[in-house]
Amino acid sequence: MINIIVAGPRGKMGYEAIKMINKEENFRLVACLDRKNNGKTLKEVDGLPDLDVPIYENAEECFQAVDSADVLVELTIPEVGYLHTKTAIQHNIRPVVGTTGFNSEQLEELDELLTSKNIGGIIAPNFAIGAVLMMKFSQMAAKYLPDVEIIEKHHDNKLDAPSGTAVKTAEMIRETREPKSQGHPNETETITGARGAELDGMRIHSLRLPGLVAHQEVIFGGPGQTLSIKHDSLNRASFMDGVRFSIERVFEIDGLVYGLEQLL
């Protein structure tokens, strides 16, 4: 039995994660971390599952009180998520993190802390298996079609831009693609930002609209041809296979794994 704490139960991802955990015979939800509702249980909060699971606001208090926890599923925002993740590791709780926006220094620190504790942790910019395949296929294509732009589209409540998936995609492409500038060498933005963000000559464009969930298209161009690799998450259930997979696999690794493609 794997005992799990979920951070962010009132979010859409957190809600889906709780439903998934509750259905799995070898998973048990033992607590939740939430910035509200300290001292209540899930069933006492409107809109949350009817479960007798305690809620804590403070991560340190939670991890001390629930000393049986094996895994933290972190689904909040970068500032809080980093603190939750670091505190979990200090208590020998393995983190499975879907929160994006951690910087390279934070990732390095988490990796060092995990290594010192001889436990593993997973940070996944995207838990959808199809999205992971989209990133991997894009990495393969970039070796042969180095002119590439990324268009990512998310709901209008997403805080970070570009998305963690887009950044991870660009980082993976960079491993097989020689840096190069794209477009006309004398091009001018008549409106600042029109060409999007830039990484090693690649352009990344972020759309934020109500009605969207998580979508990304990677477009390659070559003489007389284009190639588009696209993935759409139509609802948050699409991420749960990856969350389940990560909870199970985190016990088999040491240190930090960044991106599910390294485990598939």
Q: In the predicted model, is pLDDT for residue 174 greater than 90? A: yes
Max avg pLDDT among 100-104, 127-131, 182-186: 127-131
Q: Is 154 a catalytic residue?
A: yes
Q: Is 91 annotated as a binding residue?
A: no
Same domain flag for 109 and 191 = no
Same domain flag for 11 and 120 = yes
Give the pLDDT band of residue 181 (cuts 50, 70, 90): confident
Q: Is 165 annotated as a binding residue?
A: yes
Q: Is 8 annotated as a binding residue?
A: yes
Q: In the predicted model, is pLDDT for residue 69 greater than 90? A: yes
Give the pLDDT band of residue 75 (cuts 50, 70, 90): very high
Same domain flag for 210 and 245 = no
> pLDDT, tens digit, for every residue of 1-49?
999 999 999 998 999 999 999 999 999 999 999 998 998 999 999 888 9
Q: In the predicted model, is pLDDT for residue 109 greater than 90? A: yes
Mean pLDDT of 154-171: 93
CATH code for the domain in which residue 93 is found: 3.40.50.720
> pLDDT, tens digit, for every residue of 199-224?
999 999 999 999 999 999 999 999 99
Residue 160: the pLDDT is 87
CATH code for the domain in which residue 224 is found: 3.30.360.10
Same domain flag for 196 and 107 = no
Number of structural domains (the chain) is: 2
Set 153, 154, 168, 231: catalytic member: 154
Burial category of 174 from C-beta neighbours within 10 Å (exposed 0-12, middle 13-18, buried 19 and up): middle
Same domain flag for 47 and 140 = no
Q: Is 11 annotated as a binding residue?
A: yes
Q: Is 158 a catalytic residue?
A: yes
Residue 165: the pLDDT is 93
The percentage of the chain sitting over the pLDDT mark of 70, rounded to a whole number, equals 100
In angstroms, what CA-CA distances link 168 with 49, 243, 259, 261?
A: 33, 18, 8, 10
Greatest extent of the chain over all pairs of C-alpha atoms, in Å: 63
Q: Which two tokens stand for residue 165?
A: 């998936």
Q: Is 20 annotated as a binding residue?
A: no
Set 40, 86, 91, 158: catalytic member: 158
Residue 38: the pLDDT is 92
Mean pLDDT of 111-126: 95
Same domain flag for 225 and 249 = no
Q: Is 164 annotated as a binding residue?
A: yes
Same domain flag for 203 and 167 = yes
Same domain flag for 116 and 6 = yes
Same domain flag for 230 and 134 = yes
Q: Which two tokens stand for residue 133?
A: 């395949």
Closest CA to 176 of 203, 137, 206, 204: 137
Residue 252: the pLDDT is 96
- Alpha-carbon distance of 222 to 260, in angstroms, equals 29
- Alpha-carbon distance of 237 to 235, in angstroms, equals 6
Give the pLDDT band of residue 99 (cuts 50, 70, 90): confident
Q: Is 84 annotated as a binding residue?
A: no
Task: Supply the pTM of this predicted model.
Answer: 0.84
Residue 100: the pLDDT is 81
Strands 94-97 and 197-199: unpaired
- Alpha-carbon distance of 219 to 21, in angstroms, equals 36
Domain that holds residue 215: 129-234
91-110: b (≥16 Cβ within 10 Å) or e = bebbbbbbbbbbeeebeebb
Same domain flag for 171 and 65 = no
